[in-house]
Amino acid sequence: MKNNLEKARIGSPVITSTLRLIKGNPAIWAIFGLIMIFSVIVPEKFLSTGNLIAILKNFAVTSMLAVGPTFVILLGSIDVSYMGIWMFGGALVWLLYPYLGLASILIYPIFGLMIGLFNGVIHVKAKIPSFILTLAVTAVFAFLTTYVRNISGVLTLTVPAYNFLRESPIPYLPSPFLLALPVILIALFLMFFTKLGTYLCAIGSNEEGSKLAGINVEKYKILAFTISGLLTGLGSIAIFVHLGCQTRVDFDPSELVRGLAAIVLGGTPLAGGMGGPHRTLLGALVYVLIFNGLFLLPGVDPNHLKLYIGTLLLGAVVVASKALKGALIA
């Protein structure tokens, strides 16, 4: 123990912290490995500028679905309301655009915040398992979105006025990625530079102990859900822009799995207490790399996407299950 301390002082802080980072985030190895494999097998396709930009875009979308819920997973609970926030938030933006003008995009974070708060309060006060609760919320809002589309008599819920957001001011960096960046920074700030990250880990690691240490557990649980909703709301703007300033109108479970897969692949255990948004970002990158590279390979049928996603998630949860040993789980 003492030796470690000495080493840490002697060695350059950059190197030691990098080493620590790699040691704590096995997903980094996976990222290196995937890049190597695809660069060797399909170098022209994989390393083309267009494909790298596509990877960045998809990374932005996947990470925006997963970064918010990571805060809830730290607690050992789960939040899959992101599909609902993303879909119906977009419908609200579309509905309110005639009245609010360009400001209607702000509906996204507000709606996310409200749903997050609702989830938190119901989960904590009525003691409904978070997964079932947030799944029901997602389902309700997803169907509501389809309903809005149906009664409006349109095919898509597009707001062309936001098309200016699709132009990126910086070459090679697509605008969804730029829009996602602030959300990522906020998440990392909350995790590492405020007490929130510590508290959520503490509650996930030992709820009773956290109570004894004087933490208002209920408050922070609600806060975690609220932040999850808020970040998803903000992040949904990036997805909205990525899809061509429109929202999804039909519910697809494979999109739901995408967020969960990113979290699990990043190495945040579902039991809570460890990990954080940094791992989720890495996990999102792993997810995007796998599917980007996969479909560049000859003989891979994009129609079988669901089968691949299911198998990948299955493999990921089995690997991640090591952290859950010992407890009897429902």
Partner 1 sequence: MTQIGLSREWVQRNLNTIIPISGLLVLIIALRIANPYFLASWDSVITLVYGMSWFLIAACGLTLVILMGSFDFSVPSVLKLSAMIFAVLYPSLGFFSILVSLIVGLVFGLTNGILLARFNIPSFMATLATSMVAEGLAQVISGGYTRMITDPAFRAISTTMFLGLPSIFYWAILVWLLSIFMTFTTPFGRTIYAIGGNIIGTRLAGINVKKVRILVFMLCSLLASLSGILYAAQIQGAHMQVGVLDMIPLFASVVVGGTALTGGVGGVHRTLLGVLIIRWLDSGLSMVAIDLNVRMIVFGAIAIIMAILTIDRRRIKIMK
Partner 2 sequence: MEGAKPLLEVRNVTKTFDKVVKALDNVSIEVGKNEIVSVVGENGAGKSTFMKIMVGVHQPDSGKMYYMGQEVPFPKNPLDALKRGISIVYQEKGVIPHLKVYQFLFLGLEEKFTKLGRLQLEKIISLARSVFEELGIKCDLVSSMYELPLSTQKMVEIARAILSIKLVVGEESKITPIIILDEPTAPLSIEERDELFSYLLSLKKSNSFIFVSHIIPEVMKFSDSIYVLRDGKLIAHHNVKLEKLSEEQLFKEIVGRESYHEVYAKYESAKIKDIDKRLVVLSIRELTKKGYYENISFDLHEGECIGLFGPAGCGKSEIARSLYGDIVADSGKIIVDNKVLKLKGEPHTRVKAGIGYFSGETGKELLLSWPIRKNISLVNFEKVTKTPLKIISVISFKAEKSLAEKIMNKLRIKAPSVETECYSLSGGNKQKVSVGKWLERSPRIMILEDPTIGIDVGAREDIYEALLEMKKNGISMILVSDDPKEYAILCDRIISIKDGVIQTTYTNEDFRKVIEL
List residues near partner 2 by CB under 8 A: 1-2, 4-5, 8, 189, 193-195, 198-199, 201-202, 204-206, 208-210, 212-215, 273-274
Q: Which amino acid makes up residue 53?
A: I
Applying CB under 8 A, the span of 7-15, 27-35, 174-182, 255-263 interacting with partner 1 comes to 255-263
State the CB neighbour count (10 A cutoff) for residue 275: 24
**Of the candidates 41, 102, 103, 307, which one interacts with partner 1 according to CB under 8 A?**
307
CB 189, min distance to partner 2, A: 8
Angstrom distance (rounded) from CA 298 to CA 301: 9
CB 310, min distance to partner 1, A: 3
By CB under 8 A, residue 106 contacts partner 1: no
For partner 1, the closer of residues 169 and 302 by Cβ is 302
DSSP β-bridge partners for residue 252: none
For partner 1, the closer of residues 161 and 314 by Cβ is 314
By CB under 8 A, residue 325 contacts partner 1: yes
Task: Provide the mask over 208-227, with x wherever binding to partner 1 is found by CB under 8 A and - wherever it is not.
Answer: x-------------------
Task: Please give the structure tokens belonging to residue 135.
Answer: 């799944």
CA distances from 174 to 184, 218, 239, 315 (A): 15, 40, 12, 31
Task: Please give the structure tokens belonging to residue 297.
Answer: 């390979």
Task: Please give the structure tokens belonging to residue 93.
Answer: 């933006």
For partner 1, the closer of residues 56 and 142 by Cβ is 142
Query: Residues 6 or more apart from 263 whose CB is under 8 A from it?
Result: 66, 69, 70, 73, 279, 280, 283
| C-beta of residue 284 within 8 angstroms of C-beta of residue 292 | no
Query: Crossing angle, helix 175-193 and helix 49-74, to 10 degrees?
Result: 30
Q: Which residues bind partner 1 (CB under 8 A)?
A: 75-78, 122-123, 126-133, 136, 139-140, 143-144, 146-147, 150-151, 207-208, 253-254, 256-257, 260, 264, 270, 272, 303-311, 313-314, 317-318, 320-321, 324-330
